[in-house]
Structure 1
Amino acid sequence: MSYQAPPLAGFFVYRYLGWWDVILLCMRKLYLLLPILFLIYWGCEDSKEEETTPTEVTLWGVVYSVEDTDSLPNLPYSGLTGSIPSEIGNLTNLTELNLYGNQLTGSIPSEIGNLTNLTELNLYGNQLTGSIPPEIGNLTNLTYMNLGSNQLTGSIPSEIGSLTNLFAFVVGNNQLTGIIPDEICNQGDSSPHLENNQLCPPYPSCIEDYVGEQDTSDCPDSTPTEVTLWGVVYSIEDTDTLNLSNSGLTGSIPSEIGNLTNLTELWLSENQLTGSIPESICDLNINWSYYWSFNISNNQLCPPYPSCIEEYVGEQDTSNCGECDENSEVVLWGQNYS
């Protein structure tokens, strides 16, 4: 007759061994299972990777090998329609992507940023909409990028500054808006094509000569409302008289003075003003010939003087203006004095 331990025997064994010994025993058994669990997990990951990494991509009815495709020939001017498939981002060996001259619509997929081997990207002359994806900044090997003559909107992404190898950057004839980021000065094309958009001033100094025609009608009003002259702020709308004669003024006359378009009287005489008189002074609505409207005499202002006031500058100390013609004359209210 066999002996059977009472139901509580296991409890007494655990009690005899101690709870700590039981925990250690369980951990040893779990440790033996870890290699098996690891192999199961690894197999699942391999299976998942095989499922998510395609070997082929179908674009516009044509199958391309992911590994062997470095260009997509015969696609420019081929009547392509619809959007650019996001799957194009799987063709990571592409060095050229030329889809220009079609009727492609929709936005540029962000997956295009996966094509880091691209040296040429030409999407010119389609009907693409939406914004330029910031992921385009990943394409640091690009030397040529043409997104011109589409219907792109939004601003130029600052990531464009990462494209230091560009020698041609074309985004003209779109509907781009906003401020051009200063980072555009870091990209490689020193004279990019930005014309015929809605890009707003102020423009980065590096490309301000190349922005071309821009529709700025929807840009925030950049017209100044105040002017600072010699440390004092003047309202453009409210300032019609400026009497600073004998005020100890030094330095040159700021060109911003021309923004005071409501000014009808200006006195700057008896100071130590130097340098040349800015041409913008001629933008003021002043009767220059009338002594009680304008007096700038007895300074150290140097010729040549703006044509609007050259007969009314009065006496000037030009001894520090460099070499002067020995036959030079001083003009005092329309009279020449040698």
Structure 2
Amino acid sequence: MSRYILVILFIGLSWGQNCTADDGTQGVELWGECYSIQNTIELDLENSQLTDSIPPEIGNLTNLTYLDLRGNQLIGEIPSEIGNLTNLTYLYLDNNQLTGSIPLEIGNLTNLYVLWLYDNQLTGEIPSEIGNLTNLTSLGLKINQLTGSIPSEIGNLTNLPYLYLYDNQLTGEIPSEIGNLTNLTSLGLKVNQLTGSIPPEIGNLTNLTYLNLRSNDLTGSIPTEIGNLTNLTNLGLYGNDLTGSIPSEIGNLTYLISLYLSSNQLTGSIPSEIGNLTNLTDLFLSSNQLTGEIPESICDLNIDWSNSDYFWISNNQLCPPYPSCIEDYVGDQ
């Protein structure tokens, strides 16, 4: 009988009852099936139309190394008993409707390589205990309702290749310890309520190809250390309260394809070094307080100047004469 039919037959029964598994060993009943406590190593119920909450008795399956409950309609809180599963290497709870906070006991799962909790309705703070998970190679907490600050202990997760905390309600400053994550290739903190300045330690992340801090409340200047990120292809800082000038070191980012600095309070002139970014196809500098003439070197960029989907420089205090490549389009903005 299929798992789906079993779930329908057993709906309404209490979960977590003791039972005897097919192999004759003691088991625990979860979602209408009996799983051996001793011999269940992997539990893959992805996209199985599971509903209701995760029963705390799941913590009895202490030999589990792989638990996949993603893509269901699970509700309620993540049970603290999940912390009993200390042999887990993969935990997927994403794409459900889970609420409540991330249990502190998650920090017990020190063998985890993958922890995906994204696209739920989780609230509360990211527990500092997450810093115990030093074997993590993938952490997904994006698209929740998490609050509070990013714990400094996140800097312990030095094996992470990417970190996505975007689309939450995180506050406070970006911790300087984020500069410890030197294996990062992607860092997405956009659409939060982060404050303070961009830490100069971000310049340690020389493997980054993607950095998106847009739509926060960041202040201060763009650190010159941003010029260390010579592998960047996408840089998004728009929709903050950044001040000061665009650092000339931005010209070091010769692999950049997209540069988004719009809707800040940037001042000064556009540095001539911007002409070094010959791979750039998207340039957005609008709605700042930039002054002076636009450098002629901008014409070295590979941009369709006539298309506002790729180039936007309006709402500044820039003055003519404009470079020949854009003189027909600046006035139209």
Q: TM-score, normalised by structure 1?
A: 0.49
Report the structure number with the largest CA radius of gyration: 1
